[in-house]
Amino acid sequence: MSASTLDKLIYMANQIAREFASQRPDEAAEATWDHLWHFWDPAMRRQIIAHLDTGGEGLSEIARAAVARLAVPVEPEPVTRATEFNAPDQGASGAGADGG
């Protein structure tokens, strides 16, 4: 992995953590973990976990906690509205969910 790729992952993880810290300070680490789990490619998650395993230099406290949780292979329940998706048979508005 190139240093520039890792630098970008660290930057993005910290940026996400900062945003959630400003919106919901008590849940920032969990919301950051949820976002990384749902929206980051598995290869990106593996890279940032490997970085944490070697010390995690540059990661904020919140980002570090979120990345540590990524190392546990569990699918999270959605904690942000962005990860609450429609059921497969439901349109974007939910129209038609009752069959007519």
With respect to residue 22, please indicate whether it lies within any of the assigned structural domains: yes
Contacts of 85 (CB under 8 A, 6+ apart): none
**What pLDDT, in 10s, does the model give residues 21-50?**
998 888 999 999 999 999 999 999 999 999
Question: Angle at which helices 42-53 and 28-39 pack, to 10 degrees?
Answer: 130
With respect to residue 94, please indicate whether it lies within any of the assigned structural domains: no
With respect to residue 81, please indicate whether it lies within any of the assigned structural domains: no
**What pLDDT, in 10s, does the model give residues 46-68?**
999 999 999 999 999 999 999 99
**Domain that includes residue 15, residue range:** 3-74
Could you tell me the pLDDT band of residue 99, with boundaries at 50, 70 and 90? very low
Flag whether the pTM goes above 0.85.
no
With respect to residue 67, please indicate whether it lies within any of the assigned structural domains: yes
With respect to residue 82, please indicate whether it lies within any of the assigned structural domains: no
- Structure-model confidence comparison of residues 6 and 73, the more confident one: 6
* CA angle 21–72–24, rounded 5-degree value: 15
Distance CA 94, CA 68 (A): 35
Average pLDDT over residues 1-20: 91
**Total number of domains in the chain:** 1
